[in-house]
Amino acid sequence: MFGLFAVTAMLVCYALEARSHLFVLAFAISCALGSVYGFLQGAWPFGGVEAIWAMVALRRWNLRYSAVKSGSHSRSSLAISNKFLDPAGPELNAVFLLGTLKTRKKGDFSHTETLCELVREDFRPYNVKSEIVRLVDYDIKPGVESDMGPGDEWPGILKKLIAADIIVFATPIWWGIQSSLIQRVIERMDALNDELLETGKSELANKVGGMVITGAEDGAEHIIGNVANFLIWNGMTLPPACSISFLGDYTGATKESLLEKFRSQKATASMSRTMTRNLVFFARLLRENNIPQDTEGISQNVAPGAVGMRGDRA
């Protein structure tokens, strides 16, 4: 009876996990009981496996409970009701390509990086590991190839992007357009577009993209259009409301005060929550349901010298 109870409890609790974190905890306890039963019966392999399952389930419960306890921005209720937003779901990897022109050596903090930090905060409860790549700190050679030879540090950054589930382009507004560093990234990633045209497959397929934009002038919509056009034609998916922008006065702000300002402003905080939720949802959705890719390229259907092909670049 003891063994039957343990196994039955495991099955019931596992089926009801989506309803509450308490069922995850109950599942862990049931696995522990199953482990005890296995050892008592001399079935050591069964007891060992159940013990491992109990530890895994306990960790999953801890992640879910932490999100529920924090209650931060009501994300917990969303996470429990949808498996793609479950805090205990598969870990995702996000990379921010930061296009600020400010170097660390000068000691100036980046407004764009600070807004990225807000987005990173909203990623964490969803079990998303993130990294900010400050482009100005790297020697990224000009060109349209993935590797421009000795001294070029772009190939290392590209490896991070290919390994990521979520890629966020973060840029200040300069004269109504994205920074020169973000534009250089677009030019360097153009080699992936050539690969897509030639093979029908993109290394960026089934990844999701987002944008972070700051400035004291207008131009956010223009930048969103430019970056979105580049991303979707390189195989990436853009969820609804996948951008956040802040256009305002930064006079006298420190990094800490500006981050607190972003947190306290309802519009900015709401944009960040919506953006992260949608990026996480689609990243996990696409991980389980890949968008099909062509088995051959489309270059043969494009006239020589057409826009986007190698022959038209000067």
DSSP codes of every residue in 247-290: ES--TT--HHHHHHHHHH-HHHHHHHHHHHHHHHHHHHHHHHSP
Structural domain boundaries in the chain = 2-70, 77-288
The residue type at 260: E
199 φψ region: left (φ > 0), alpha (ψ -120 to 50), beta (else): alpha
Question: What value, to the nearest 5°, has the Cα angle with vertex 17 and ends 11 and 22?
Answer: 105
Spatial contact of 244 and 271, defined as CB atoms under 8 Å apart: yes
pTM of this structure: 0.71
pLDDT single digits (tens) 260-275: 999 999 999 999 999 9
The token pair at 58 is 């306990």
Q: Which of 262, 265, 192, 264 is nearest to 232 (CA)?
A: 192
CATH superfamily ID and name for 77-288? Flavodoxin domain (3.40.50.360)
Condensed to tens digits (0 to 9), the pLDDT of residues 232-260 reads 989 999 999 999 999 987 777 888 899 99
Residues of the chain with pLDDT under 70: 17-19, 64-81, 107, 297-314
Distance, CA of 127 to chain centre: 10
